[in-house]
Amino acid sequence: MNTLFIDTHCEELLVALLTEGKVINEIKTKGKSHSEKLMPSIIKVLNDSNITKDKLDEIIVVNGPGSFTGIRIGVTVAKTLAYALKIKVKTITSLEMYGESEKGNFDIIAFKDTKGFYSAMKKDGVYQDFEYRKSEDFKTKKRRIQHNNRVG
């Protein structure tokens, strides 16, 4: 099975081709120009892998949390390609992607953006309890803890 993987949820753009679940080619680029780089990256990954678009069986796209504009670009391209090629499109959250990366299989996953933290827990093999906390919430809690320690 050939799978095209698209991730545009953050500043780094990732396009990969997987065959039978193993990455055989990938392109990573930095910068906020996903709208300009996504299609050329897809074409390059396919060409460099000697896989034609009609040999794709599915597309997996990251659907957030993350950059709203980046996610819209990735999901729109994935859905359009899947429709045109008459193949399945699946979504995965950015938290699931990090949690199931080749660096490990994690039960709790979190990452920070400019304003706060996203987190999720794996229960019974499925990520759930997705949560977002603003950075200021941690600063307020830290102040309360420091105040309570001084008072006691």
> Looking at the structure, do residues 25 and 66 belong to the same domain, yes or no?
yes
pLDDT over threshold 80, residue 77? yes
**102-151 pLDDT per residue, tens:** 565 667 777 777 777 777 887 777 777 778 888 887 666 555 555 455 55
pLDDT of 1 reads 95
Q: What is the pTM of this model?
A: 0.76
> Looking at the structure, do residues 11 and 61 belong to the same domain, yes or no?
yes
**2-60 pLDDT per residue, tens:** 999 999 998 899 999 999 989 999 999 998 799 999 999 999 999 999 999 999 999 99
Contacts of 141 (CB under 8 A, 6+ apart): none
> Looking at the structure, do residues 23 and 50 belong to the same domain, yes or no?
yes
> Looking at the structure, do residues 77 and 112 belong to the same domain, yes or no?
no
> Looking at the structure, do residues 66 and 119 belong to the same domain, yes or no?
no
pLDDT of 50 reads 96
> Looking at the structure, do residues 46 and 70 belong to the same domain, yes or no?
yes
> Looking at the structure, do residues 64 and 83 belong to the same domain, yes or no?
yes
> Looking at the structure, do residues 108 and 84 belong to the same domain, yes or no?
no
pLDDT of 87 reads 98
pLDDT of 103 reads 60
pLDDT of 76 reads 98
Range of the domain at 147: 102-152
Assigned domain for 49 exists: yes
Q: How far apart are CA 55 and CA 70, in angstroms?
A: 26
Residue 72 and residue 48 in contact, taking contact as beta carbons nearer than 8 Å: no
Q: How many CB atoms lie within 10 A of CB 72?
A: 15
> Looking at the structure, do residues 142 and 118 belong to the same domain, yes or no?
yes
Assigned domain for 144 exists: yes
> Looking at the structure, do residues 6 and 76 belong to the same domain, yes or no?
yes
> Looking at the structure, do residues 47 and 116 belong to the same domain, yes or no?
no
| Mean pLDDT across 74-92 | 97
Contacts of 130 (CB under 8 A, 6+ apart): 65, 93, 95, 118, 119, 120
pLDDT over threshold 70, residue 101? no
Assigned domain for 97 exists: no
> Looking at the structure, do residues 22 and 78 belong to the same domain, yes or no?
yes
Assigned domain for 115 exists: yes
Q: How far is CA 102 from the centre of its chain?
A: 14
